[in-house]
Structure 1
Amino acid sequence: MELQQMRYVLAVAETGNFTRAARQCLVVQSALSHQIAALERELGAKLFARTSRRVALTAAGEAFLPAARACLEAAERAAADAAAATGEIRGRLAVGIIPTVTGIDLPATLREFHHAHPRVRIVLRSAGSDDLTAAIRAGDVDVAVLGLPETTEPRGVRFRALNHDKHVAVVARDHRLAALDRVDLPTLAVEPFADFPAATAGRAQSDLAFAAAGLERTVAFEAMSTDLIIGLIRQGLAVALLPARFVAGIPGLETIPVTDGPGRVEYLAWSDFNPTPAAVAFLRSAGVSPVS
């Protein structure tokens, strides 16, 4: 059994197509098909069910995939560790980001990191803070930017606070509240809201504030995309509470300080369980010591 055969199996499983998998692996389809067939003969089981129009994993293929993926990751880590021992950083760096990053200039940090370590393959993953924290603990993400309510800290990961920020009310320029110098939660509670999905950390920041004030509100639109939320606000369909630094200067909107509004803390988080050389190098480029 060879590592390349495992890569081919993963590529077919991900693309659902032998032709696309071969293109992804930069080989001709006949070579990829031959290697997978050889692996199936060695295993004594078919990994894929094939027709002229469809490719799907068999039960054996489903069982084979997790260990094959772990094997490839271990091989990649072994190569990265060996290279790091000679002073070269390479391998994979998975960076998780929330939709409202303000505590770090991530493009500039990634640019500096990429110039210093061009052989590192950088993967960006956008998700909510809870999902990213779980991904760090599972080893699927190396480092992540999180945003949490002021009363909450990341759990099960190492972290450093990047900044504290207050939420502001965000409304369209022709909204009835747009001319106010300040607004309170009771005034906002009667408005339809656009917000992040329920049970996410981004949503909790506002939910906790309204609950503490004994108020209920209507979240008419839920989305993880800040572009969509901002578009809904511009159309006059909703208002939102968003971090002040994030919405500063966005055209077509008015932002209003909230007297009793929520705040959040933005964190850079990572796992201290056997971090990869690339993760350690990235944290240092971000001004963070990965070890206490």
Structure 2
Amino acid sequence: MDLRQLEYFVAVAEERNFTRAAQRVHISQSGVSAQIRRLEKELGAELFDRSARSAELTAAGKAALEHARDVLAAAGAVGQAVGEITGLLRGSLSVGMVIGCTVTPLFDALAGFHRAHPGVELSLREDNSDRLVPDVRSGALDMALIGTESEPEDLNSLTILSEPLVAAVPTGHELSGRVSLEDLAAHPVICMPPGTGLRAVFDRACAERGVDPVIALQASAAGAIADLALRGLGVAVLSESMAAAFPELTALPITDATGPALLAITWRPGANVAAREMISHCRKAFRLPSAG
């Protein structure tokens, strides 16, 4: 038997379907079936009950499954260990990034990582923070840059930015100086949609003060929110640095929205070597202290 046969066996067992397993391992269904037949012949037992509608494990298949997983995990660990020793990383690194937030240092970190480890396949996905965090937990993503009101307790995190919310208005708007959430609620509000860290901070502040603002318009990009506010369609709620990027707007401190909006990189405890290397590049790109 070889590792390829064990990989196909595990894929069919987990997918309970030869077609889906073939798609997962990127070969034809007939190729998967042929390799499984060879494995069964070598073991002297059928691993799947092919009379059922789905690919159900036989007693022999159930007995073999965990051992096959252990062998594949051990083979992966051998490659990982060699990669760590030689510095010639292989494999993949999947990174998430909160939607609507162009963060140049993250791109610098990705570029630096790629130059140092060209053998690693990089992928980058934009999404709302409330979907990125569960994907980091599950392993669908190795790490993610998220907007949040607090760092996830069960994940490792590196805070990039912590700053207050502001109300951003065009010149001549009746709001001025320092404003309260109640002042803000007297006007249509333009902000990010639910699922984003900035919106979570704003919603929590309003709930704590018993304020129920009218969310007139929502947009995922700070530029779109600012543009709508400049056209007089409402008061923009942004973080301090977001608002600073639009000098045509005046940023007004919100006196009773005291919880900061955080921008943080998050990853699982015990992350693979590629993720750990990427974290090091992020520390350099964001000019953060090295891990002690």
TM over 0.5: yes
Letter in structure 2 aligned against 1:270 = W
SS class of match (2:113): helix
Aligned length: 271
118 and 136 in structure 1: CA distance in 2 versus 1, 3 angstrom threshold: same
71 and 291 in structure 1: CA distance in 2 versus 1, 3 angstrom threshold: farther
**How far 1:193 moved relative to its partner?**
4.2
44 and 158 in structure 1: CA distance in 2 versus 1, 3 angstrom threshold: closer
> In the alignment, which residue of structure 2 is the partner of 1:43?
47
> In the alignment, which residue of structure 2 is the partner of 1:54?
none
Q: C-alpha distance in 1, partners of 2:180/2:84?
A: 54
181 and 77 in structure 1: CA distance in 2 versus 1, 3 angstrom threshold: farther
> In the alignment, which residue of structure 1 is the partner of 2:252?
257
SS class of match (1:154): coil
Contact 1:93/1:278, CA 8 A, preserved across alignment: yes
Q: C-alpha distance in 2, partners of 1:47/1:285?
A: 53
244 and 228 in structure 1: CA distance in 2 versus 1, 3 angstrom threshold: closer
Whether 1:217 and 2:213 are equivalent positions in the alignment is yes
**How far 1:189 moved relative to its partner?**
1.1
For structure 1, the residue ranges without an aligned partner over 5 or more in a row are 50-56
Contact 1:90/1:119, CA 8 A, preserved across alignment: yes
Q: C-alpha distance in 2, partners of 1:129/1:188?
A: 25
Q: Deviations over 1:98-151 (max 9, x none)?
A: 2354776111110111011011122334444455444444444333223333xx
Q: C-alpha distance in 1, partners of 2:266/2:157?
A: 4
Q: Choose from 155, 159, 171 the match for 2:153.
A: 155
Q: C-alpha distance in 2, partners of 1:21/1:44?
A: 18
Q: Which residues of 2 match residues 127-138 of structure 1 at below 5 A? A: 127-138=127-138
> In the alignment, which residue of structure 2 is the partner of 1:226?
220
Q: Which residues of 2 match residues 140-179 of structure 1 at below 5 A? A: 140-149=140-149, 152-170=150-168
Q: Deviations over 1:244-265 (max 9, x none)?
A: 32355469x8453233245312
246 and 216 in structure 1: CA distance in 2 versus 1, 3 angstrom threshold: same
Whether 1:107 and 2:101 are equivalent positions in the alignment is no
Contact 2:147/2:263, CA 8 A, preserved across alignment: yes
Contact 1:89/1:120, CA 8 A, preserved across alignment: yes
**How far 1:211 moved relative to its partner?**
2.9
Q: C-alpha distance in 1, partners of 2:223/2:50?
A: 46
Identity %, equivalent residues = 28
> In the alignment, which residue of structure 2 is the partner of 1:124?
124
Judge which range, 83-92 or 134-143, deviates more.
134-143
> In the alignment, which residue of structure 2 is the partner of 1:196?
193
Contact 1:104/1:162, CA 8 A, preserved across alignment: no
Q: Deviations over 1:140-188 (max 9, x none)?
A: 4333223333xx34312232322222323356x6xx9758554542232
Letter in structure 1 aligned against 2:278 = F
Q: C-alpha distance in 1, partners of 2:221/2:117?
A: 32
What's the C-alpha RMSD, in Å, of the aligned pairs?
Answer: 4.8
Letter in structure 1 aligned against 2:144 = A
Judge which range, 103-112 or 177-186, deviates more.
177-186
Q: TM-score, normalised by structure 2?
A: 0.66
> In the alignment, which residue of structure 1 is the partner of 2:263?
266
212 and 44 in structure 1: CA distance in 2 versus 1, 3 angstrom threshold: closer
Contact 2:280/2:290, CA 8 A, preserved across alignment: yes
For structure 2, the residue ranges without an aligned partner over 5 or more in a row are none
Letter in structure 2 aligned against 1:43 = L
Q: C-alpha distance in 2, partners of 1:229/1:118?
A: 34
Q: Deviations over 1:178-234 (max 9, x none)?
A: 585545422321314443226x64422101222344311133566xx7149927963
Q: C-alpha distance in 1, partners of 2:217/2:36?
A: 46
SS class of match (1:105): helix
SS class of match (1:226): coil
Contact 1:168/1:255, CA 8 A, preserved across alignment: no
Rg larger in structure? 2
